[in-house]
Every structure is written in structure tokens, then in C-alpha cells.
Amino acid sequence: MSLLHRRHHRFLIWSLVAVGTLAVQAQQGISNKDLLDGLANPARWLTYSGDYSGQRHSPLNQITAGNVGQLAAQWTFQTGITGKFEATPIVIDGILNIT
């Protein structure tokens, strides 16, 4: 399989993962009210910026300047993409989803 075909294959797989994530989100019943409520429930970070104010500030306080150095990766996944790979995570009911 050529490099181009492998890249297309990876793109197809990641597209299916993204669609599957969206399908799961749809099943979880996200309403317009949920989006407008923003971070009233910090376990539901549903938009790019957390809420429509665009501040990207989380009211959660478990990670502080005093303990951030103790954080360590708990899970990693190698995508096979050699260039820059960025994703915007959202949190629904305490579960982090990367789309």
C-alpha cells in the first residue's frame, strides 16, 4: 500500500471516529439549554470555549499551580500522523471526548 493510500486510510478511520463521537454525543441528549447554560455544570464542557463567553476558564480547582508539576500522562495513542496534530476536547458528563 502506498504512502498516499495509507494516509487516506488513516484519514478515513479518524473521520469515522469523529462521526462515532458525534453520534454518542447526540445520544446523550445535548439540548440548546445545555449549551446556553455553559459551565453551570463543569462536568459538561460542551463548546470550544466552555461556554459562549469565550473565556475558556474552568471553575474546577483540582489542578493548581502547586500540583500541576505532579501530573503525568495516563494514556497515549500514536496516530501515525507525523506532522502537527491538534484537537479540541469537550467534556460531557465528566468524560473527555477529543474530536
**pLDDT tens digits, residue range 36-47?**
888 888 888 888
Q: Which of 1, 7, 5, 2 is nearest to 82 (CA)?
A: 7
pLDDT band for position 21 (cuts 50, 70, 90): low
Question: Could you tell me if 79 and 7 are in contact, meaning their C-beta atoms sit under 8 angstroms apart?
Answer: no
Q: Which of 91, 88, 92, 97 is nearest to 48 (CA)?
A: 88
More confident residue, 71 or 66: 66
pTM above 0.75, yes or no: no
Question: For the residues 8-35, what does the mean pLDDT come to?
Answer: 73
